[in-house]
């Protein structure tokens, strides 16, 4: 299996763990605090899971690098903003389609926000944060 296929497979596994962390805390916290704040906190907890799994498992980077951490945090800050915006827009737009179906609206909003940030995160991690040296490419 070439590196990209392996990375995509591992990214999916890591992503499932990060999304489950995000979703669990989103649903718990949204019952107690404002929904956008809950989304932000849950996303950050998912981010910690994603960083650890993607660094060591998906992209197999063992070196310690402050530059890598800063890049990852920058990418996730951008992704967090996109995630919250898509979630908020979906929460605003979907009630026009699904009248009085708040559970469906909340779930779809979560999925749209997560899908958007997933695309941003894989692309950013593969080609920027955990980018392999040219001498180590096996694609």
Assign 130 to helix, strand or coil: coil
Residue 138 covered by a domain: no
Token pair belonging to 51: 């960083």
Q: Kindly state whether residue 139 falls inside one of the protein's structural domains.
A: no
| Residue 128 belongs to some domain of the structure | yes
User: 137 in a domain, yes or no?
Assistant: no
Residue 100 region by backbone torsions, left for phi larger than 0, else alpha for psi between -120 and 50, else beta: left
Distance of alpha carbon 41 from alpha carbon 102, whole angstroms: 21
Residues 6+ apart with CB under 8 A from 63: none
pLDDT score for 85: 96
* pLDDT at res. 1: 58
Q: How far apart are CA 64 and CA 56, in angstroms?
A: 11
pLDDT tens profile 72-123: 999 989 998 999 999 999 999 998 888 888 889 999 998 999 899 889 988 9
For 8-61, what is each residue's pLDDT tens digit?
899 999 989 998 999 999 999 999 999 989 988 998 898 889 889 999 999 988
H/E stretch holding 92 reads helix 66-93
Q: Is residue 87 in a domain?
A: yes
The number of domains in the chain is: 1
Crossing angle, helix 66-93 and helix 35-53, to 10 degrees? 140
pLDDT class for 134, splitting at 50, 70, 90? low
Domain that holds residue 105: 3-132
Residue 136 pLDDT grade (very low, low, confident, very high; cuts 50, 70, 90): low
Task: Confirm whether 36 is domain-assigned.
Answer: yes
């Amino acid at each position: 299996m070439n590196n990209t296929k392996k990375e995509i497979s591992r990214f999916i596994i890591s992503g499932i763990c990060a999304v489950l962390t995000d979703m669990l805390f989103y649903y718990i916290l949204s019952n107690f605090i404002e929904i956008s704040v809950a989304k932000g906190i849950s996303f950050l907890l998912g981010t910690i899971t994603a960083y650890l799994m993607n660094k060591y498992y998906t992209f197999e980077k063992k070196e310690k690098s402050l530059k890598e951490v800063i890049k990852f945090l920058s990418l996730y800050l951008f992704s967090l903003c996109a995630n919250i915006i898509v979630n908020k827009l979906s929460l605003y737009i979907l009630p026009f389609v699904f009248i009085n179906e708040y559970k469906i609206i909340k779930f779809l909003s979560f999925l749209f926000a997560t899908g958007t940030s997933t695309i941003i995160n894989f692309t950013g991690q593969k080609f920027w944060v955990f980018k392999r040296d040219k001498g180590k490419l096996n694609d």
